[in-house]
Structure 1
Amino acid sequence: MRMDEREVEQIVERVVRELISDGTGPVATSAAPATTPSTPRTVGDGIFNTADEAVNAAERAQAELRAGGVEVRRQVVAAIRECANRNAEKWARHAREETGMGRVEDKVLKNLAVANGTPGVEDLEQRLLKGDHGLQVITGAPWGVICAITPSTNPTATVINNGLAMIAAGNGVVFCPHPAAKECTKQTMADLNAAITAAGLPANLMTCVADPTLKAAAQVMKSDKIKVIAATGGPGVVRAAMEAGKKVFAAGPGNPPVICDASADLTRAAEMTVKGASFDNNLPCVAEKVAIAEARIFDDYLRAMERQGAQLLNGTELEKILPVVLDGEQPRRESIGQDAAELLRRAGLPVRGEPRVVLAVLPEDHPLVVHEQLMPFLPVVRVRDFDDALRLAIEVEHGYGHTSILHSRDTDHITRFVDAMATTITIVNGPSYSFSGDLGEGYATMTVSTPTGEGVTSPRTWVRRRHIVYSGMFQN
């Protein structure tokens, strides 16, 4: 059945409403400016008044980029890296000020990780199949112009990462910022564009609309010139994005469990758990969201985490803080991304030292165990043994296939965990962020595309595969 224009428009508007209402900020349905300590960024350096202008400019820039060949892309990537390294702290502060979430020092690390750890053109692969019948070249071609919908949780790092990787693949990008992070997103993109043009390279390879409303985002998404949508959000976002009628790279939700078994080095396990769960106040989708420990080492694991800067709640304290972090059965929006000390203060509880994360011993069916909470409040669940831990980890991960973490020195447990969890990112004896860039081995990304199967994205993600056959030519 062929849909008419109005049906398409209704679907796209529903998609965008899902995408930008992800539980971390308000939905912008009008031209009202965001509340931000900075002056709103106006037109220029890739920022346009209308969606059509933004898309058309990115299309022209992409054509110029493609005509320049791989060397021009390499130069653009270098300009992005230099600019991002120079402005990492400024952008991190802007993001914290505008969104009110996270930790500046960790946002700086994220900006630097993607600036230096996102692959460039070297990531693009080409295969040659040569034999008696001729030659086949398997290569990648740019999609053209990509619509990239960015979150409020990692706004500036996502612009750096997506912009660098998508341009390295030969694409132009139209960003649709989350309304709660629109100014820091626009500023980051504009600074990158200015650095690119200052180097004598194509202008407007990255664009966006000056006022990123629901209507503007819908217009970008339904443009015939947009071939691909890169979107981050929850299950509703993924389902809705699939209805847009375009290729979707969906970075969906996660609820990463971390298991500590009886064989683990408890000092290291505690240190890694606290570092991972507290990084940027638990905003990253990969961060430890629930800890599961065997009964025989449970108390020792808790004490070890306290020594690493966690604050453990007693029963009375837990009752006082639950209304601060929970709204019914869901995490309370106002507490997302707040400092651990701020959560304690809001509950009227004493703050001991400078806690990085709050620990709460909870039953396995508690809402904060079951749901992704995006705050430095770590539920810890006691289980009988490793079999019980693995069962619970599988349950609370919900089959998202996102991230899971294990602390163990038992090779049988490690093998079983890796096989049973089958997550896109599986970490053994490290913090959740150790999969990425400067923060660990491997390359950096802010878009982990789990629902649609692309996984940890890189430039090779943002091309379509081509097979070029030279029949009867170049034989052996």
Structure 2
Amino acid sequence: MQANESTIRAVVEEVLSELGRKPKGNPDAGRIYGQSSLKKGGIPVISAGTSIPASAGSVHHGSGNWGVFDNVNDAVAAANEAFVKLQKKTMGDRATVVRIVKEMCEKNADLWGRAEMEETKIGRVDHKIEKLKIIKLVPGTEFIKPDCYSGDNGLTLEEYAPFGVIGAITPVTHSLPTLAGNIVNIVAAGNTVVFNPHPSGAKIACTGVQAFNKAFADAIGIENLVTIIGKPTIESANEVFHHKGVRVLLVTGGPAVARAALQSSKKAIVAGPGNPPVVVDYTADLEKAAKSIVIGGAYDNNLLCIGEKEVFAEQKIFDPLMEAMSRHGGFRLSAQQIETLTKLAFSPPKEPGGHAILNRDLIGKDAAVIAQQIGVSVPAGTQLLYGETDTSNPFVPEEQMMPFVPFIRTKDTQHSIALAYEFEHGFGHTALIHSRDVKTMDEMGKLMNTTLFVKNGPSMAGLGLGGEGYLSFSVATPTGEGVTSPLTFTRKRRTSLIS
């Protein structure tokens, strides 16, 4: 689908004008350094076989400063130059780049995770650190294997070839992990990349890019394999979407930015929004279900797009399930407390039939902090708030990113599945079920037709974390690529030799 520039620009402005707001009460939003122990003038990283000079310290801007650029034209030009050089390198050189990213994320996880938390002010620092440590699970060059066909008429080879420069938009929810995981996939496939990060996570993203690029240059002799806009704006995002030097778009974000990518004339790989429902039927292991819901719904304070957002449980097991939740780190709110929280978390829609307006000051806050906002004190160790609502509560239809999960009492399993289908909204992202009935699980899976369908486990199991498979921080739902891998960023190239 092709749309005119003014249409795309309007949508991009819509999303970035929202995402670019600094958190209320946080005048230093966008800073990394502040009161932490990080030293101004140097990036105190443990690099992969190299040292980082003092000149690569705090994030500077300008041409060629270890990948950080003031404008899109320079960033794309540098990435294109790096792409030409990368084509002359070996698959082993690409593997070296992948290894460097994984090792640096592992070794600097504590430092960079705390820096990201300090800048963005959302989520949990222990999970910020963990998300960097698990970059080692993102697949690399091992996925790039040619296919061969031989016979009486000769030999045909199909190779997975790169596109060129990928233009990537990254979210504030996982600023550096998404960037690092995307680098592993994109460079393993032979591409280079220019990032336009979320404005509220740009500092830590630039810190990572500078450190990576210095190590890449030392290891394989190419600068600017990864470039980034140091001060991302509405204009810079729009330029990335339209720049003739960008061959493919990778967009990870909410509905508006996903819509903008889908309206672009370029090939777009879009990791869009989700509102993952959970069904618990009467055959389920209720203790395991409760534990899984808490683990998934509380992870990084429910910032994950795959995270459990609402639960549909049938009447006959509803009350025992609610009791089990409290044994696994959940704290149950009363009807009055939920009403108070809902009024705090959402404002009424601006127009009839519109979406409730989410209070962004609550996004990614700890369960104890949110409870305190409504005058409730929760026990130490509380991971998740939960309680019974009906489907009219905005926590059910809206993709809220905070550690409160509504539970809806249903008549039976079929009623639960029907509601799950309704409130997933056709995003095709993620759905979950807890059941011992194979037929029920099969029926729900076919109906939901989501990219991720998790049975009897927490949501992250669908990304190889506690389940089988591989990890990625970009799950392309509306465009159908699914959990992205190096193959996502390749084009098939066929060569035939005739006998």
Q: TM-score range by the shorter chain?
A: over 0.9
CA spacing shift, 1:465–1:33, aligned 2, 3 Å: farther
Partner in structure 1 of residue 9 of structure 2: 13
> Does residue 428 of the first structure (1) align with residue 463 of the second (2)?
no
Question: What is the match of residue 277 of structure 1?
Answer: 297
The whole-number CA distance in structure 1 between the counterparts of 2:430 and 2:383 is: 21
Separation in structure 2 between the aligned mates of residue 331 and residue 33 of structure 1, nearest angstrom: 22
Matched residue of 1:262: which SS?
coil
1:261 aligns with 2:287: no
The aligned counterpart of 1:107 is 128
User: d(CA) in 1 for partners of 2:29 and 2:234?
Assistant: 14
Match of 1:208 in 2: 228
Contact 1:254 1:400 in 2 (8 A): yes
Contact 2:2 2:265 in 1 (8 A): no
2-structure distance, mates of 1:435, 1:16: 30
Partner residue, 1:349: 376
Post-superposition CA distance 1:21-75 (Å, at most 9, x none): 5x555299xxx99542426611322112222211111111111111102111011
Query: Which amino acid is 2:122 matched to?
Result: M
CA distance in 2, matches of 1:189, 1:14: 29
Residues 245-256 of structure 1 aligned to structure 2 (within 5 Å): 245-256=265-276
Runs of 4+ in 1 over 6 A off after TM superposition: none
Contact 1:147 1:174 in 2 (8 A): yes
Moved more, 298-307 or 135-144: 135-144
Structure with more relative contact order (C-alpha pairs < 8 Å, separation 6 or more): 1
CA distance in 2, matches of 1:351, 1:449: 37
Would you say the 8 A contact 1:24–1:333 is kept in 2? no
For residues 286-297 of structure 1, the aligned pairs below 5 Å read 286-297=306-317
Kindly state the Cα deviation for residue 357 of structure 1 after the two structures are TM-superposed.
0.8
Match for residue 169 of structure 1 among 175, 181, 189: 189
Q: Which amino acid aligns with 1:347?
A: I
Q: Distance in 2 between matches of 1:72 and 1:86?
A: 21
Q: Is the 8 A contact 2:186 2:193 kept in 1?
A: yes
CA distance in 2, matches of 1:366, 1:319: 9
Taking the aligned partners of 2:490 and 2:299, their CA distance within structure 1 comes to 32
Alpha-carbon distance in structure 2 between the residues aligned to 1:419 and 1:231: 27
Unaligned 5+ runs, structure 2: 34-39, 41-57, 349-355
Q: Helix, strand or coil for the counterpart of 2:395?
A: helix
How far off its partner does 1:136 sit?
2.2
Query: Cα RMSD between the aligned structures?
Result: 2.1
2:143 matched to 1:123? yes
Residue of structure 1 in register with 2:417 after alignment = 390
Question: How many angstroms does 1:173 deviate by?
Answer: 0.5
Contact 1:11 1:244 in 2 (8 A): no
1:41 to 59, 62, 70: 59
State the Cα distance separating 1:147 from its structure 2 match: 0.5
Higher helix share: 1
1:138 aligns with 2:158: yes
1:93-151: per-residue Cα shift (whole Å, max 9, x none)? 111111110001112221122x2111111112321122333332222110100001000
1:53 paired residue number? 74
Match of 1:223 among 218, 243, 260: 243
What letter matches 2:86 in structure 1?
L
Matched, 1:91 2:77: no
Q: For 1:357 and 1:27, how far apart are their aligned partners in 2?
A: 26
Structure 2 SS opposite 1:467:
strand
Distance 2:101 2:282 in 1: 46
Q: Is the 2:32–2:116 contact (alpha carbons within 8 Å) kept by the matching residues of 1? A: no
1:152-185 per-residue CA deviation (whole Å, 9 max, x = no partner) reads 0111110110011100000001000111111111
Q: Is the 1:330–1:371 contact (alpha carbons within 8 Å) kept by the matching residues of 2?
A: no
Q: Is contact 2:122-2:173 (8 Å) kept? A: yes
Mean CA deviation greater in 322-331 or 280-289: 322-331
1:77 paired residue among 88, 98, 102:
98
**Counterpart Cα distance in 2 of 1:457 and 1:130:** 30
Question: Scaled by the length of structure 1, what TM-score is found?
Answer: 0.93
- For residues 90 and 9 of structure 2, what CA distance do their matches in structure 1 show? 36
Match of 1:183 in 2: 203
Post-superposition shift, 1:412? 1.6
| Counterparts in 2 of 1:448 and 1:126: CA distance versus 1, 3 Å | same
Gaps of 5+ in 1: none
Q: 1:26 aligns with which of 5, 21, 42?
A: 21
Q: Distance in 1 between matches of 2:490 and 2:200?
A: 30
Deviation at 1:319, TM superposition (A): 2.3
The answer to whether the aligner puts 1:364 opposite 2:364 as a matched pair is: no
Higher alpha-carbon deviation: 218-227 or 126-135: 126-135
Q: Is the 8 A contact 1:294 1:382 kept in 2?
A: yes
Q: Give the C-alpha shift of residue 224 in structure 1.
A: 1.2
Change over 3 Å in CA distance of 1:436–1:112 after alignment to 2: farther
Question: Which amino acid counterpart does residue 63 of structure 1 have in structure 2?
Answer: V
* 2:359 pairs with 1:332: yes
Displacement of 1:377 in angstroms is: 0.8
Given that residues 203 and 230 in structure 2 are in contact (C-alpha distance below 8 angstroms), is that contact kept between their aligned partners in structure 1?
Answer: no
Q: Distance in 2 between matches of 1:150 and 1:431?
A: 24
Contact in 2 for aligned 1:34/1:182 (Cα 8 Å)? no
Q: CA deviation at 1:335?
A: 0.7
What is the identity, as a one-letter code, of the residue corresponding to 1:76?
V
What one-letter code is carried by the residue in structure 2 that aligns with 1:36?
R
TM-score if structure 2 supplies the norm length? 0.88
What is the CA-CA distance between 1:265 and the residue it aligns to?
A: 0.8
Checking the alignment, whether the CA contact within 8 Å between 1:72 and 1:201 is kept in structure 2 is no
Query: Which residue number in structure 1 is paired with residue 262 of structure 2?
Result: 242
By how many angstroms is 1:238 displaced?
2.5
Aligned length: 463
Give me the whole-angstrom Cα distance separating, in 2, the residues matched to 1:243 and 1:33.
35
1:270-315 deviation digits (Å, cap 9, x = unpaired): 1011000000000010000001111111011111111111110112
Aligned position for 2:339: 319
Q: Work out the CA distance in 2 between the residues paired with 1:273 and 1:460.
A: 32
Helix, strand or coil: the match of 2:380? coil
Q: What amino acid maps onto 1:197 in structure 2?
A: A
In structure 2, relative to structure 1, the CA distance for the partners of 1:180 and 1:57 (3 Å cut) is same
Corresponding residue for residue 307 of structure 1: 327
